[in-house]
């Protein structure tokens, strides 16, 4: 794993460093969820385009918004296959329909980047009756990954990158009350619980994925993206002041894409399966709950129950 990357590294710098590895893989096809313009996912896709992969497939609930990103990719490299797919990760029906369309039109996936995420200031439920942070940030990606896995496993080097957050440090791992039926709803903790779930999902995939490399990534603190649209300006400012008081440096979206791309492209990470990454490097978890294998297994069982079918990684 390269030590030349760090907090200020941009996605383009990562792709430039691994350009030869992308070319060696001949037909690198990458799926990115949540590529909202001016967000981390869009920056990830646009940076990746400079490495000349064969396909970048953009997935999210508002495909019309992604036209700008798709056009940007084509402007960088007209030879890349670019497609957009409408998938609302908060709806099982939408996930199944979108995954079916994507698989019908693409017979190769090498890297799946589960980037999409939401925050919900008020307690909201998904179309399937699941608390919205948990539904979108974890369960929707759990089902989407399950549906894409057979195609992903055809790759010689399949890789799954799950975006989490350092806020997982505030999570309890109380998966028994994933729907917040027995405690007062606190939006930041609900978000944190969903981000801890991203880590436990990654760990289970790494332990049972039969050769799949799965990594979880904290992209950094990036303000101004659409993920904060549901919170008030006052709360937004309070959060920024709190983060600044901890001495945490902010990042641009271009810098925010870098750790994701290291996780997606660095061949040295094959020996770090299941790792958590911060500032382009393997890092320690921010809470004890993230290290608990029993919670990883508990989450997997719960997730299978919620989607109504088993998810086998073999």
Active site (annotated) includes residue 191: yes
CB 236 within 8 A of CB 228: yes
How many C-beta atoms surround the C-beta of residue 182 within 10 A?
8
- Per the DSSP assignment, residues forming a β-bridge with 33 are 59
Rounded Cα distance, 161 and 34, in Å: 13
Residue 99 pLDDT > 60:
yes
CB 312 within 8 A of CB 149: no
Helix (H, G, I), strand (E, B) or coil at 293: helix
> 55 vs 26, 73, 74, 108, 182, CA distance in Å?
11, 10, 11, 9, 45
CB 156 within 8 A of CB 133: no
pLDDT digits (tens, 9 = 90+) for 14-60: 999 999 888 776 679 999 999 999 999 999 999 999 999 999 999 99
Catalytic choice (12, 66, 85, 191):
191
Beta pairing, strands 81-86 & 111-114: unpaired
Residue 242 pLDDT > 80:
no
Residues in the chain: 314
pLDDT value of position 224: 57
pLDDT digits (tens, 9 = 90+) for 173-209: 999 999 999 999 999 999 999 999 999 999 999 999 8
CB 186 within 8 A of CB 150: no
Residue 217 pLDDT > 70:
yes
Residue 243 pLDDT > 60:
no
What are the sequence ranges of the domains in the chain? 11-306
pLDDT value of position 245: 57
Residue 233 pLDDT > 90:
no
Q: ∠ CA 160-82-54 to the nearest 5 degrees? A: 65
CB 259 within 8 A of CB 166: no
> Does domain 11-306 correspond to CATH entry 3.40.50.720?
yes
């Amino acid at each position: 794993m390269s030590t030349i990357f760090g907090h200020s590294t941009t996605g383009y710098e990562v792709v430039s460093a691994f350009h030869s590895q992308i070319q060696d893989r001949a037909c690198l096809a990458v799926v990115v969820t949540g590529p909202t313009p001016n967000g981390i996912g869009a920056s990830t896709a646009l940076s990746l385009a400079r490495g000349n992969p064969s396909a970048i497939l953009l997935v999210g609930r508002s495909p019309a918004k992604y036209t700008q990103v798709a056009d940007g990719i084509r402007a960088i490299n007209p030879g890349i296959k670019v497609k957009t797919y409408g998938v609302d990760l908060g709806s099982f029906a939408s996930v199944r329909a979108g995954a079916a369309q994507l698989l019908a039109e693409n017979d190769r996936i090498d890297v799946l980047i589960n980037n999409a995420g939401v925050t919900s200031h008020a307690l909201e439920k998904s179309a399937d009756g699941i608390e919205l942070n948990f539904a979108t940030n974890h369960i929707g990606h759990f089902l989407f990954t399950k549906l894409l896995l057979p195609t992903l496993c055809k790759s010689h080097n399949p890789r799954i990158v799950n975006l989490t957050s350092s806020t997982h440090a505030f999570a309890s791992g109380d998966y028994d009350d994933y729907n917040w039926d027995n405690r007062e709803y606190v939006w930041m903790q609900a978000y944190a619980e969903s981000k801890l779930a991203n880590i436990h999902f990654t760990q289970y995939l790494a332990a049972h994925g039969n050769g799949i490399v799965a990594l979880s990534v904290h992209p950094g603190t990036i303000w101004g993206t659409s993920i904060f649209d549901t919170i008030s300006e006052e709360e937004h400012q309070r959060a920024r002041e709190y983060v600044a008081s901890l001495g945490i440096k902010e990042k641009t979206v271009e810098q925010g894409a870098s750790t994701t791309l290291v996780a997606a492209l660095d061949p040295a990470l094959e020996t770090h399966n299941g790792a958590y990454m911060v500032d382009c490097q393997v890092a320690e978890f921010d809470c004890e709950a993230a290290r608990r294998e029993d919670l990883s297994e508990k989450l997997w069982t719960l997730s299978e129950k919620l989607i109504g079918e088993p998810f086998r990684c073999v």
